[in-house]
Amino acid sequence: MSRAPSFIREAAPPRSRRGEWIALALLLLVLLAQLFFSQRAQLAADARWRPLVITTCGALGCSVPAWHEPTAFSMLSRDVIAVPGRPGVLRVQASFRNDAAWPQPWPALVLMLSNAEGRQLGARRFQPRDYLGDAPKDALLVPGQATQLAFDIVEPAAGIVAFDFRFE
């Protein structure tokens, strides 16, 4: 029995590569899903991507972090006054509103106190638990929701005549 040389033998029919392409497509989808899940907080922080992230997570059952946009809080009224009958104590009163497009958590409130020359005499960053006392009944402020707060602080120095608020 004679054997034909290898260059004369018939070439094997080409294998179907459909299964390999399907496996590659599935692996690509898994990679995209992993990237989405690992980066969803960063994507949700961008107003352009947030609706897609909310929709996708709603369908897949994943969580989306609360929107955080401190510049979207509007100060409606604010005041710092001396408390009658309590020397060295100041009453901080303020009302503000969430003007963001989405619900967001209670902001940190930065209060800066100054004297008549504009020199800062004290500053403090208040977390929601500091100015609300107990945990708020709602963890998020919905769009358009306004709230009022009032709390007392110790006057850091005599001669405070000016104050400024900032949200973080």
Q: Could you give the CA distance from residue 144 to residue 73 in angstroms, rounded to a whole number?
A: 10
The verdict on 112 and 32 lying in the same domain is no
The verdict on 77 and 144 lying in the same domain is yes
The CATH number for 126's domain is 2.60.40
The verdict on 135 and 81 lying in the same domain is yes
pLDDT of residue 14: 63
The verdict on 82 and 24 lying in the same domain is no
The verdict on 121 and 158 lying in the same domain is yes
The verdict on 79 and 146 lying in the same domain is yes
Q: Could you give the CA distance from residue 134 to residue 61 in angstroms, rounded to a whole number?
A: 30
Contact 64, 42 (CB under 8 A): no
The verdict on 54 and 77 lying in the same domain is no
Flag whether 7 is in a domain.
Answer: no
pLDDT of residue 134: 72
The verdict on 91 and 123 lying in the same domain is yes
Flag whether 2 is in a domain.
Answer: no
Q: Could you give the CA distance from residue 51 to residue 36 in angstroms, rounded to a whole number?
A: 14
Cβ count near 27 (within 10 Å): 10
pLDDT of residue 158: 78
Flag whether 101 is in a domain.
Answer: yes
Counted domains in the chain: 2
pTM value is 0.68
The verdict on 133 and 111 lying in the same domain is yes
Residue ranges for the chain with pLDDT beneath 50: none
Give 56: exposed, middle or buried? Use CB within 10 Å, 0-12, 13-18, 19+.
Answer: middle
Give 117: exposed, middle or buried? Use CB within 10 Å, 0-12, 13-18, 19+.
Answer: exposed
The verdict on 87 and 150 lying in the same domain is yes
The verdict on 80 and 157 lying in the same domain is yes
pLDDT of residue 60: 86
Flag whether 12 is in a domain.
Answer: no
pLDDT of residue 121: 84
pLDDT one-digit tens code per residue, 38-59: 898 888 888 899 899 999 999 9
Which domain covers residue 115, as residue numbers?
A: 70-167
pLDDT of residue 73: 96
pLDDT of residue 78: 92
